[in-house]
């Protein structure tokens, strides 16, 4: 695109921004005091508490579920629970669990990975538990072991990582947010990553979605800065009701989620709960309509030879039955 190379300025903070039809003006503070910059576009990539989003007056509807508690840590698991050569865990009453998978029970979710023989990164999530204080020295290993036992319904023999393995403190996370920006762009200010949407961290969706946001926005900004224009307008595309769609990830991950969130706490009628979940998913996913420009412009084969028009970038979603 020409011009000066990009600069990374650490320790600088946005205070206010303003824009007209052609330019965005940002007031910032840095180590040498306040200053002002102007640009054609300013990308809000400043996280869930985004100053950019707030300055643009973009609402961030959704929920905060403070009944969620997660513990994670790096531990050793020894045979016979650790199956030699496979990375699997043999849990009494459950059988063999595969690494990089999620095991749900009526009490929570268990996940793990093995990154070197005998060393496991374990994560366990529970709901409706008292918060666990994340002390400076970390959470005691016994608390992680007890949480694993509650979720799996069986004791898993875990201990400190072996000598020579990288130590990782047992950490806790209390509460989960599920929120979506009312719109992804305000004039010359598009949002990406957590500034645009936050959700449960289970499975790493925030990292993946943030990278996809950057990819999608990057080539559209490159077009807008060159001799083409128009594709940037698709960045405003949003579900019909972001406030209704935001809790859908919590609906799906809670052990009682489809009843607790789609219908309300205490729901007991499975048909009513299923109907509520179906309605939530319809709102969340929306109908497939490949005539819409935000789907059509993700077909890359006419822009980069060798890529398929049915590649991972073609993200049209199908109806939920």
Using one digit for the tens of pLDDT, what is the confidence trace for 133-174?
656 567 788 889 999 999 999 999 998 887 766 666 677 777
Higher confidence at residue 240 or residue 59?
59
d(CA 275, CA 283): 13
- pTM reported for the whole predicted model: 0.67
Say yes or no to pLDDT of 260 above 90: no
Domain count of the fold of the chain: 2
- Looking at residue 276, what is its pLDDT? 58
Residue 56 lies in a domain: yes
Three-state SS for 226-241 is CCCCCHHHHHHCCCCC
User: What CATH number does the domain containing 113 carry?
Assistant: 3.30.70.2450
- Looking at residue 243, what is its pLDDT? 42
Residue 27 lies in a domain: yes
Q: Are residues 122 and 193 in the same domain?
A: no
The rounded percent of the chain whose pLDDT value lies above 90 is: 31
Residue 279 lies in a domain: no
Split at pLDDT 50, 70, 90, the class of 280 is low
- Starting at the edge strand found earlier in the chain, the sheet holding 13-19 runs 13-19, 24-30, 33-39
Q: Are residues 132 and 163 in the same domain?
A: yes
Q: Are residues 111 and 214 in the same domain?
A: no
Find the domain containing 216 and state its range.
Answer: 1-60+181-233
User: What CATH number does the domain containing 39 carry?
Assistant: 3.50.50.60
Q: Are residues 138 and 75 in the same domain?
A: yes
Q: What's the mean pLDDT in 19-47? A: 95
For strands 119-127 and 158-159, give the pairing. unpaired
Averaged pLDDT score across all residues of the chain:
75
d(CA 232, CA 294): 10
Residue 227 lies in a domain: yes
Among 140, 145, 168, residue whose Cα is nearest residue 158: 145
Higher confidence at residue 230 or residue 106?
106
Question: How many residues are recorded in the chain?
Answer: 321
d(CA 39, CA 107): 51
Residue 238 lies in a domain: no
Residue 114 lies in a domain: yes
Using one digit for the tens of pLDDT, what is the confidence trace for 4-27?
678 899 999 999 999 998 999 999
The rounded percent of the chain whose pLDDT value lies above 70 is: 67
Using one digit for the tens of pLDDT, what is the confidence trace for 84-113?
888 899 998 889 999 988 888 888 889 999
């Amino acid at each position: 695109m020409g011009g000066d190379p990009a600069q990374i300025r650490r320790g600088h903070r946005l205070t206010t921004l303003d824009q007209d039809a052609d330019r965005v003006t940002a007031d910032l503070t840095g180590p040498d005091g306040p200053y002002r910059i102007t640009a054609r576009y300013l990308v809000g990539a400043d996280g869930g508490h985004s100053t950019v989003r707030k300055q643009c007056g973009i609402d961030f509807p959704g929920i905060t579920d403070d009944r969620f508690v997660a513990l994670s840590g790096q531990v050793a698991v020894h045979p016979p629970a650790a199956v030699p050569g496979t990375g699997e865990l043999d849990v009494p009453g459950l059988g063999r669990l595969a690494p990089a998978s999620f095991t749900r029970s009526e009490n929570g979710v268990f996940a793990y990975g093995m990154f070197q023989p005998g060393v496991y990164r374990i994560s366990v999530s529970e709901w409706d538990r008292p918060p666990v204080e994340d002390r400076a020295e970390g959470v005691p290993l016994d608390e992680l072991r007890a949480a694993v036992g509650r979720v799996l319904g069986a004791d898993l023999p875990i201990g400190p990582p072996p000598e020579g393995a990288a130590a990782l403190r047992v950490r806790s996370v209390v509460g989960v947010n599920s929120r979506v920006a009312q719109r992804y762009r305000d004039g010359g200010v598009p949002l990406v990553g957590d500034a645009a949407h936050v959700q449960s961290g289970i499975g790493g969706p925030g990292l993946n979605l943030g990278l996809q946001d950057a990819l999608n926005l990057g080539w559209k900004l490159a077009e807008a800065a060159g001799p083409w224009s128009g594709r940037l307008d698709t960045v405003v595309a949003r579900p019909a009701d972001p406030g209704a769609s935001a809790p859908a990830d919590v609906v799906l991950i809670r052990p009682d989620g489809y009843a607790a969130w789609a219908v309300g706490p205490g729901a007991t009628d499975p048909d009513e709960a299923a109907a509520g979940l179906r309605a939530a998913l319809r709102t969340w996913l929306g109908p497939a309509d490949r005539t819409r420009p935000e789907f059509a412009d993700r077909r890359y084969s006419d822009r980069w030879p060798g890529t398929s028009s049915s590649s991972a970038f073609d993200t049209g979603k199908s109806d939920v039955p």
